[in-house]
Amino acid sequence: MPKKKKSKKIKKAKKLKKQKTKAQTKTLEKKSIIPGSDEKPEIKKIKKQPTEKKIYNLKDYVVYPKHGVGKITSIEKATIGDIDIQFYKILVEKEKLTLTVPINQQSKLRPISSINQINKCISILKTKPKIKRTMWSRRAQEYDQKINSGKIYELAEVVKDLNKNTDIIADQSYSERQLFEKAYERLKSEFEAVLNISPEDVQKKMDKALGRTKVLEATE
């Protein structure tokens, strides 16, 4: 092979290699990595927003998921070992129960709903119940979890799904009635606390949304 052709090929190969090296260097520079360096690319950490602890006051209504609406009757202190603990005393009137909740564990509590949330619940109660084809034991477990979740929309869904617009008691099993009444009373107690109206007026409001007033009139 003539020397000129060979040298041309070598030059071409060197040129391509040089271009490839430049391209690789640019890519590495973009990633902030220098070849042969031990330095790692800088990773910016996103700071988590600190979650503000809700401070509840005396006579405030709060919701404890497993027991429903309660009222803070006192804020007390106790010393256990060498540790000072501050806690809320919460009266759940519907269950005739007094809870003791340490303030540092108040994540279990939530404030009562807003008027807008109550109105959204009324809208949920007006919708058609969802009929599931799964076994009752499984559905009962799901309903129970929703009741004890402390989430008011899930509570309203249980009331709506288990509501029977009929005066025939046989249409609803004993366990269904129990779950319905539990969810209904939990929701009713929160309506009372938020709307600040009598239990009778709250019941009328809920029954109207559920379409139960016609059934009650028919049975009277």
CATH code of residue 94: 2.40.10.170
Give the dihedral sign, CA 200/204/210/211: positive
> pLDDT digit string (tens) for 109-118?
999 999 999 9
In 10 A of CB 147, how many CB atoms? 21
Domain enclosing residue 86, as ranges: 61-111
Measuring CA to CA, which residue among 204, 155, 201 is closest to residue 181? 155
* 150 shares its domain with 87: no
Q: Are residues 214 and 122 in the same domain?
A: yes
Domain CATH number, residue 148: 1.20.58.1290
Does the pLDDT at position 11 exceed 80? Answer: no
pLDDT the model gives residue 164: 80
Whether residues 119 and 148 fall in one domain: yes
Any domain includes 17 = no
In a domain, 73, yes or no: yes
Last-in-domain residue among 111, 143, 173? 111
Rounded (10°) CA dihedral 23, 29, 33, 39: 140
**Same-domain status, 140 and 192:** yes
Q: Give the model confidence (pLDDT) of 57-112 as tens digits.
A: 999 999 999 999 999 999 999 888 888 889 999 999 988 899 999 988 777 899 99
Answer yes or no: is 19 within a domain: no
pLDDT attached to residue 145: 95
